[in-house]
Amino acid sequence: MTKDILSFIKEHEAKVAPLYKDYNLRFWDLSTDGNERRERALVESKERYLKVYSNKDDFRQLRAWRTEADRLPEIEARQFKLIYDSYVPNQIEDDVLLDIVERETEIENLFNTFRANFENGKASDNELRDVLQNETNIDRRRAAWEAGKQVGHAVAPKLLELIRIRNREARKLGYADYYSMMFELQELDENYVFSVFARLDDLSRDAFSRMKSRLDAALKSRYGVTEPQNHPWLYADPFFQEFPAVGAGESLDAVFKGRNIEALTRAHYESIGLNIDDLLRTADLHERDGKSQHAFCLDVDHEGDVRVLCNIRDNERWTSTMLHEFGHAIYDKYHDEQLPFVLRTPAHILTTEAIAMLNGRMSKNPEWLMKIGGLSTADAQRLSASAFRTLRSEMLIFLRWALTLVRFERELYRNPDQNLNRLWWEYVERYQMVSPPEGRDLPDWASKTHLATSPAYYQNYVLGELMASQLLGYIHRNVVKSESYVGNLEVGTYLVEKVFKPGARYGWNEMLRRATGEALDPSHFVRQFV
């Protein structure tokens, strides 16, 4: 029987690898220039890829082999588990599978191509953010914030129907709902994750409240607001998930104005011994009509074709985003070529997020601002305290935002027929301390792309931040044996050998234990930022 399992794994890899590559190429095409032809091509490609995993005969055989698979050698046992877990959510009828794929692709393309109506014209996300970043007229700020939610009105009914279908199919497979199923298949213990989040909520609430009180006072003074409410259009980010670059202390944007953001990104990674020239050549980095307005990294084939999509501007936010996305890219680039196809991926979504976040933080690091950003020692020292306050504030803001989204998403899947518009603002007010707009009853929640295009994903950002702090602490203590990260080639060597090359050979927590000597411990993040 062992020989049969090994033969199945080998045949599976040969079958799925070209389909996986074709699907990713079609996804890239749609993301870089969305149209109906490319949308249809992606649907067809994704359907071909997922049909491998919806094969009922294969799944029955895999299920029969599960007890025998425990006795396989380590590498083969790990492959078997990941293959099995990929089959589980796709055990649905072919017509339902196609329906889901079509619905997902339609929503994805809607986000890619949607431009809001604003001031008698169409506005991109970047243009609306510019208003929220710089405008002092509170009425215009509100209009820009409301325009940014228009996509949610278009998406919400389509997304709710998709969620009901996902839940129905997950229940047929024996799960409470789609969300719980995806947690289990991501090797995440739902109770553990939400207990960690509850602890983070308790530990961060007072620090966040004090920081936000100072921020709100500064912003209200800037915009001439006297009312006690803290409405969402006060903030530079439409979901208040980022710290504003202006209006609340010295901005770092001036450091990046007129700078070559690609060159800064290259210099950062070169300073830790990781070359990204090939990754920059395949990237699509500048905004245009029809292109996805967001940012992501795509490992096309697990063979070295790794691509980054961004819409960069010369500011701190997009510098951080570039450092973040190329963090994903180096993880994918520096895999161990000797690993089998199924294992030539990060150990988990959260581990690649950890690397992305670890490097994305550097745009606010005083040492980085001097060594890579080119600031003088005096300017770097002057900005040092401000930069750290900004980073700490950003971490607190992001954490509270993530708690909002993750808790809302779990309730969204538990009961998509409840009053979601009201629930959304209840969570926003509770965790982010943002005042709901009076009388507003619109699906603002649906304008967050992750809820539609990356279901049951957002918890990985929080876990990734926790892991990033743990990795950084270990690097300081045991790798470079100093507080210096930038400019140390030992950092790149450590990451390649201990994090990137193991791929998915181990579960995420086992990989972390081998890399740092301990399983995930939130105290590293808490000590650093809370």
197 SS3 class: helix
Q: What is the mean pLDDT of the chain?
A: 95
346-377 pLDDT per residue, tens = 999 999 999 999 999 999 888 899 999 999 88
Q: What is the pTM for the complete model shown?
A: 0.95
What is the rounded average pLDDT of the residues 120-148?
96
54 closest CA partner among 101, 1, 10, 9 = 101
- Residue 397 confidence (pLDDT) above 80: yes
Largest CA-CA distance found in the chain, in angstroms, rounded:
74
351 close to 507: Cβ distance less than 8 angstroms: no
What is the rounded average pLDDT of the residues 404-413?
98
103-127 pLDDT per residue, tens = 999 999 999 899 999 999 999 999 9
Q: Which residue has the higher pLDDT, 378 or 173?
A: 173
What is the rounded average pLDDT of the residues 516-525?
97
The CA-CA-CA angle for residues 225, 226, 228, to 5°, reads 110
User: In the 3-class helix/strand/coil scheme, how is 46-88 assigned residue by residue?
Assistant: HHHHHHHHCCHHHHHHHHHHHHHHCCCCHHHHHHHHHHHHHHH
The CA-CA-CA angle for residues 272, 275, 281, to 5°, reads 145
Question: In angstroms, rounded to a whole number, what is the distance separating the alpha carbons of residues 149 and 233?
Answer: 12
Question: In angstroms, rounded to a whole number, what is the distance separating the alpha carbons of residues 215 and 46?
Answer: 45
So what's the architecture of 191-529 in CATH? Orthogonal Bundle (1.10)
409 closest CA partner among 354, 351, 349, 457 = 457
Question: In angstroms, rounded to a whole number, what is the distance separating the alpha carbons of residues 83 and 53?
Answer: 9
Amino acid at 306: V
Tell me the CA distances in angstroms from 87 to 23, 48, 125, one per residue in order: 17, 14, 36
Question: How would residue 246 be classed by pLDDT, with cut points 50, 70 and 90?
Answer: low
- Residue 249 confidence (pLDDT) above 70: no
457 closest CA partner among 128, 244, 178 = 178
What is the rounded average pLDDT of the residues 58-74?
93
Annotate 460-472 with b (16+ C-beta within 10 A) or e (fewer): bbbbbbbbbbbbb
pLDDT over 90, % of the chain: 91
> Domain locations in the chain?
1-112, 191-529
